[in-house]
């Protein structure tokens, strides 16, 4: 039953990917992510260059004047590599600030009988985003240790970890719009297995470049459907969802 709900919700979400509101959230999240990563990389490289001495005296070699350039360029490539690694977590977290619009679009099309909700204040959404970003990045960095220790299981660790985190975030986001944060957490715990399994379905495409950038949108839409199905709403009509 849980798997049927997950797949039904997932395909209903895919059927609405052409919605202009979905595209707006996607492009806004990507633009802010790229700007943030470029700004962070440039700022850190500048700071390291500023802290590094212009020249260093080394015994037997004399004065070396190119060390700061090596450190600056080395830092650039290091942070550039980290930016690629962190692209998905950062995009996911930033896009989360705007996923209320995705959930509203899903409900307007598929659950028009529901009363309107009060939009989440931007300040609250920003705080949630910062918390989610910190947990997501921290967990994935720590997971690097497990990847090294258990190479054959690395992909499954990645899916399981991010599946848990994404399921936790997106279900809470979808549920709290209707029942508040406290009740959303209760429902998430009551349906923890289904939420984790649905989150893992979202995490699997994270391994595919470019497609992984769509996951915040698909995830928010999928978990909006899943929340309503778990709380007794009518299952989404697949025919209508693809219109």
Residue 240 predicted with pLDDT over 50? no
Percentage with pLDDT > 70 across the chain: 67
pLDDT given at position 193: 93
Secondary element (H or E) of residue 64: strand 62-64
Question: Between 90 and 186, whose confidence is greater?
Answer: 186
Q: Domain map of the chain by residue range?
A: 2-241
Residue 109 in tokens = 């099309």
> What's the pLDDT tens digit per position in 22-54?
888 888 877 777 777 676 666 666 666 665 545
Work out the mean pLDDT of the chain and round it to a whole number.
Answer: 77
The one-character DSSP state at 17 is T
Task: Give bridge partners of residue 56 from the DSSP assignment.
Answer: 64
Show Cβ contacts of residue 234 under 8 Å, excluding neighbours closer than 6 positions: 111, 228
The one-character DSSP state at 111 is -
> What's the pLDDT tens digit per position in 200-234?
998 888 777 677 778 888 988 999 999 999 988 65
Residue 140 predicted with pLDDT over 60? yes
In angstroms, rounded to a whole number, what is the distance separating the alpha carbons of residues 80 and 87?
10
**Distances from the Cα of 181 to the Cα of 12, 61, 137, angstroms:** 25, 64, 23
> What's the pLDDT tens digit per position in 52-62?
545 445 455 44
In angstroms, rounded to a whole number, what is the distance separating the alpha carbons of residues 233 and 79?
46
The burial of 123, by beta-carbon neighbours within 10 Å (0-12 exposed, 13-18 middle, 19 or more buried), is given as: exposed
Residue 180's nearest CA partner among 117, 103, 106 is 117
Residue 236 in tokens = 């989404």
């Amino acid at each position: 039953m849980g798997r049927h709900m997950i797949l039904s919700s997932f395909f209903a979400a895919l059927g609405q990917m052409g919605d202009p509101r979905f595209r707006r959230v996607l492009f806004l999240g990507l633009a802010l992510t790229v700007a943030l990563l470029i700004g962070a990389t440039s700022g850190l490289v500048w700071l390291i260059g500023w802290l590094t001495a212009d020249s260093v005296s080394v015994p037997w070699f004399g004065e070396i004047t190119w060390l700061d350039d090596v450190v600056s360029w080395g830092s650039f490539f290091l942070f550039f590599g980290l930016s690629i690694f962190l692209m998905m977590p950062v995009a996911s977290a930033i896009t989360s600030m705007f996923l209320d619009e995705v959930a509203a679009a899903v409900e307007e099309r598929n659950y028009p009988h529901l009363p309107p909700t009060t939009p989440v204040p931007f300040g609250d959404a920003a705080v949630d985003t910062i918390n989610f970003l910190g947990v997501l990045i921290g967990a994935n960095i720590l997971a690097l240790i497990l990847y090294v220790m258990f190479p054959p299981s690395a992909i499954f660790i990645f899916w399981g970890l991010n599946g848990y985190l994404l399921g936790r975030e997106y279900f809470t986001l979808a549920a709290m719009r209707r029942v508040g944060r406290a009740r959303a957490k209760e429902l998430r715990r009551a349906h923890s297995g289904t939420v984790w399994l649905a989150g893992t379905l979202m995490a699997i495409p994270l391994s595919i470049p470019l497609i992984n950038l769509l996951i915040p949108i698909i995830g928010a839409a999928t978990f909006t459907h899943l929340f309503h199905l778990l709380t007794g709403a009518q299952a989404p009509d697949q025919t209508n969802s693809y219109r």
